[in-house]
Chain A
Amino acid sequence: MILSFDLLINAIISGVLIGGFYAAVTCGVSISFGILDIVNIAHPAFVILGSYIAYIINAQFGFDPILVSIVVVPAFYALGAGIYQIYYVAFERRGQESLRGLAFFFGLLFITEVSLVLYFGVDYRYVQAPYIGPTWHFGFIDVPMRILVPCVVSLLLIAFLQLVLTRTFIGRAIMAVAQDQLALRLMAVDPIRIKRIAFGISIATASLAGAFLIIIQPVEPSVGRDYIGRIFAICVLGGMGSLPGAVIAAMLIGVVESITSTFYGPSWAPAVSFGFLLLTLAVRPAGLLGR
């Protein structure tokens, strides 16, 4: 292993950029798991679904994948709201979310993934967009546009979400529903409706994250599995419900993964995020910016 300065800087930069994208994938789980305490382990599958939808429209009509994903957001929102309603009636209300709720989402993960395999096959799919090819060069620093653009849009998305959560009534109700459902009821706000909205938003972010994913790399259905550990690691490390925390944690993990991959080879990369997760759980379950 030769410690090349150029390689190191590039690894760090691409790690930070990828981290921005990871944050977009995670922000949905920050809401569903961090705030609502719903272990939606199927979230990556919905992200992949978003990728495939972006792929279909992009391949057919040539529209920009990010724009496509934005247009599709209402559908994803409806999907999320619908799933939460089932989850609530079947599990939360009966107090069975620990085992059976978990199994429910696990089942959804497989249903989604295998349906995609049956429909699209296991070939890698990719999208076309003007910013996917070029790379900016600053001296020895290389910034691929196909990573930069999703990163920038991701951060915009998260900034937008943070504004919604902190400045709007619905957003603050979402933050409150985790802490005190009774207080919400006393304010004539239905906590179940709030949770439904929140979960809808959570799945809606998957649409965008999916577009980002397929811009950054070619996608096939099982790619989602790599992300399960990543997003929960980032969510926990970032302090559960904290979006800024998720961004920092995501970039941290992105950088460490990138450095590991560059200097030790990509086969060690998966262990990085999962190792981080274990460490965080063992040492400080409250995360970096704990709740």
Chain B
Amino acid sequence: MRTLPFFLISLVVGAAVFGAAVGIGNEYAFFAGYVVLQYIVLSTAWNILGGYCGYVNFGTAAFFAMGAYSTVAIYKFIADHDLYRMPMPVLVLIGGAVSAVVGFGMGYLTLRLRGAFFAIATLALAVVLQTLVVNWDYVGGSRGAYIIRPETFPLIGSYIRYLFLIMLLLAIAALTIARLIERSRLGFGFATIRDDELAAEASGVPTLRLKLIATTISGALMGMAGAPYPYYIGYLQPDSTFGLDYAVNSIAMPLIGGTTSWLGPLIGAVLLGSLQQLATVTISSAVNLLIVGCLLVAFVIIAPNGIIGLVHKYIQRKDDDFIGRRHVGLDAPAAPPEPAPSATADNPP
């Protein structure tokens, strides 16, 4: 399926999702749904750098927070100068642009580092950014920042529905971009970086340039997910906004869903996100992270290729039984032979 039909179909599905949320009749559906959609964007964004290229980013929160704080800064600026309120889509784009710049900068500084060093450096960068923001009084510093959310939005109804819609469109955009990358020359390049960077260079792949593209796109999407957040939450606090919780979720969801395609982060985010919303309402919000941690550890040990991998193994076993052969082995290929690039296990170091 080419990209344009995919995008159009996603829009239709999105409209159905919105309709379903309206149908539930409870505004909480939009509050909870927003979080799940946000995680779809964050995990898809993470997976572009982590799953496709093999570079683990622990600093998801920083990119997310930069988007959120751009919104806060603009909000304050508008309030101070009594200007007209900036529309959300513009805020989203600005948040995305800010985080894109941060992503590019981070890439430039850290991409000469290998594996674990890169991951640790992303963590370091996140904390440095957090410290800078905490000490910037204009956006409230450590005291936090209040955003007054408008009550309603014309045509759509409550403002939270509007935010839900924005995040829905962002999720569709993120998934479409991820899918587009997968099937393009860029996606092949990313896969070679993940498999064997040295061989990729020798084959003519400009690895540094591609890695910068990955960090920039990934960062931009995360920033766009963060831009509406202040309006959603009402009170923005640096500690939680920059928290490691975003990192663990944006890593766990693709790993649980499957890192090989756009479908993995989607599955992971929907499943894990919904589970967490349920747990928050029924048990407590602390238990969320316990669930994420346990599932992450369990999947990473038992099902390294995620849910997608499990499904493929199941299909493969059916095929093999049909042919009359028994398939033996821990890591079955993640996909039956296909023209499109498909990833299986990590490259042995």
Which A residues are closer than 8 A to B by beta carbons? 33, 37, 39, 41, 86, 90, 94-100, 102-104, 106-111, 113-115, 117-118, 225, 228-229, 232-233, 236, 267-268, 270-271, 274-275, 277-278, 281-282, 285
Q: Which residues of B contact A90 (CB under 8 A)?
A: 300-301
The answer to whether the Cβ of B330 comes within 8 Å of any Cβ in the partner chain is yes
CB distance from B182 to the nearest CB of A (A): 18
Q: Which residues of B contact A278 (CB under 8 A)?
A: 109, 121, 124-125, 128
Query: Complex: how many Å from CA A214 to CA B135?
Result: 28
B124, B128, B293, B348: which contacts A110 (Cβ < 8 A)?
B293
Check B290 against A95 for contact (C-beta < 8 Å).
Answer: no
Residue in chain B with minimal CB distance to A115: B290
Main secondary structure of the interface of B (DSSP, over half): helix
Residue in chain A with minimal CB distance to B117: A281
Check A285 against B286 for contact (C-beta < 8 Å).
Answer: no
Check B131 against A268 for contact (C-beta < 8 Å).
Answer: yes
Q: Which residues of A contact B263 (CB under 8 A)?
A: none
| Known contacts A102-B56, A114-B286, A115-B290, then 4 further A-B pairs from the complex at CB < 8 Å, ordered by chain A residue | A106-B248, A114-B293, A267-B131, A270-B130
Q: Which residues of B contact A33 (CB under 8 A)?
A: 116
CB distance from A18 to the nearest CB of B (A): 18
A41, A232, A275: which contacts B128 (Cβ < 8 A)?
A275
Query: Complex: how many Å from CA A99 to CA B116?
Result: 9
Query: Complex: how many Å from CA A118 to CA B296?
Result: 19
Residue in chain B with minimal CB distance to A101: B300
The answer to whether the Cβ of B252 comes within 8 Å of any Cβ in the partner chain is yes
Taken residue by residue from 126 to 145, chain B's Cβ proximity to chain A (1 for < 8 Å, 0 otherwise) reads as: 01101110110000001000
Residue in chain B with minimal CB distance to A265: B135
Check A229 against B124 for contact (C-beta < 8 Å).
Answer: yes
Query: Complex: how many Å from CA A51 to CA B304?
Result: 33
Check A285 against B113 for contact (C-beta < 8 Å).
Answer: yes
7 A-B pairs within 8 Å (CB atoms) are namely: A107-B252, A110-B244, A111-B290, A118-B290, A229-B123, A233-B124, A274-B123
The answer to whether the Cβ of B191 comes within 8 Å of any Cβ in the partner chain is no
Q: Which residues of B contact A97 (CB under 8 A)?
A: 349
CB distance from A284 to the nearest CB of B (A): 12
Check B251 against A117 for contact (C-beta < 8 Å).
Answer: no
Check B127 against A103 for contact (C-beta < 8 Å).
Answer: no
Check B348 against A95 for contact (C-beta < 8 Å).
Answer: yes
Check A271 against B131 for contact (C-beta < 8 Å).
Answer: yes
Query: Complex: how many Å from CA A94 to CA B109?
Result: 31
Residue in chain A with minimal CB distance to B50: A99
The answer to whether the Cβ of B170 comes within 8 Å of any Cβ in the partner chain is no
Which A-B residue pairs are the 5 nearest by beta carbons? A95-B348, A110-B293, A271-B131, A107-B296, A107-B297
B128, B255, B287, B347: which contacts A103 (Cβ < 8 A)?
B255
Q: Which residues of B contact A109 (CB under 8 A)?
A: 293
Main secondary structure of the interface of A (DSSP, over half): helix
With contacts A103-B251, A103-B255, A278-B125 taken as known, whether A267 is within 8 angstroms of B346 at the C-beta atoms is no
Q: Which residues of A contact B131 (CB under 8 A)?
A: 267-268, 270-271, 274
Residue in chain A with minimal CB distance to B132: A271
Q: Which residues of B contact A41 (CB under 8 A)?
A: 120
Check B142 against A94 for contact (C-beta < 8 Å).
Answer: no
With contacts A95-B346, A106-B251, A117-B286 taken as known, whether A277 is within 8 angstroms of B116 at the C-beta atoms is no
Query: Complex: how many Å from CA A172 to CA B336?
Result: 47
B109, B117, B128: which contacts A285 (Cβ < 8 A)?
B117
B127, B247, B290: which contacts A229 (Cβ < 8 A)?
B127
Query: Complex: how many Å from CA A27 to CA B54?
Result: 29
CB distance from A14 to the nearest CB of B (A): 21
Residue in chain B with minimal CB distance to A93: B330
Residue in chain A with minimal CB distance to B109: A282
CB distance from B288 to the nearest CB of A (A): 8
Q: Which residues of A contact B349 (CB under 8 A)?
A: 95, 97-98
Check A277 against B121 for contact (C-beta < 8 Å).
Answer: yes
Q: Which residues of B contact A229 (CB under 8 A)?
A: 120, 123-124, 127
CB distance from A102 to the nearest CB of B (A): 6
Q: Which residues of B contact A94 (CB under 8 A)?
A: 304, 330-331, 345-346
Query: Complex: how many Å from CA A39 to CA B114?
Result: 13
Check A107 against B119 for contact (C-beta < 8 Å).
Answer: no
Query: Complex: how many Å from CA A275 to CA B287?
Result: 32
With contacts A90-B300, A104-B297 taken as known, whether A281 is within 8 angstroms of B110 at the C-beta atoms is yes
Check B127 against A110 for contact (C-beta < 8 Å).
Answer: no
The answer to whether the Cβ of B91 comes within 8 Å of any Cβ in the partner chain is no
Query: Complex: how many Å from CA A61 to CA B131?
Result: 40
